[in-house]
Amino acid sequence: MGFSCTSEEEVAAREQSSIDLKNITIDFSNVRAFKELLLFDYEDASDISKKMNSSLVTLIMDSKDVIKENEKVSDIFINISISNGKAVITEITQANANTKKIIASIKLDDTTGDYQQRTAPYEDYMWSCPGGYEFIGGCSNLGGSEEMEGCIGSYAASYYSANLSGIGDCASVMVHVGTFSTQVCGATC
């Protein structure tokens, strides 16, 4: 599994360019701490919807590439926390549905602010949405990025407009990218 991180300064310098999951490197043999994977900053609730749609599509398309290139990975789960002017990836898990095994997983430690290797039973990821999350929508992975943006974008936009009205509001989104479909679940904090 290859994942690498960029600092917040580099992210800001790229002016909201997308995060490419293929270029993120995490060495699980010697877990080291690193700071948050910032998707984007936002000014207000309307800004979230605009920036999240393209970010979700990029994450989904990159996840599809990882699944296509790595025969051990059939599913990728990505949790995104949206609060206090930032959308941050809080967890990335790669799993194999056939063997029912977690291939690799990292999670942001709220106490330290660092990512740590996560061990969780595969069963935690078997259900369509984890406890506390509601199903927002699902789309086929057989189309291209424009179809994905239209499908996921419409679900995400309606969820954000219903649940986020100001910069202090908080929500989490879980994206489950599988071989043939993508599901998005949401929860408020």
Domain edges within the chain = 8-188
For residues 54 and 18, the answer to whether their CB atoms sit within 8 Å is: yes
**188 is written with which tokens?**
């408020």
Strand partners, 177: 76, 182
pLDDT value of position 129: 85
Examine the pLDDT at 21 and tell me if it is beyond 60.
no
Separation CA 29–CA 49 (nearest Å): 37
The residue-averaged pLDDT of 54-81 equals 90
pTM reported for the whole predicted model: 0.75
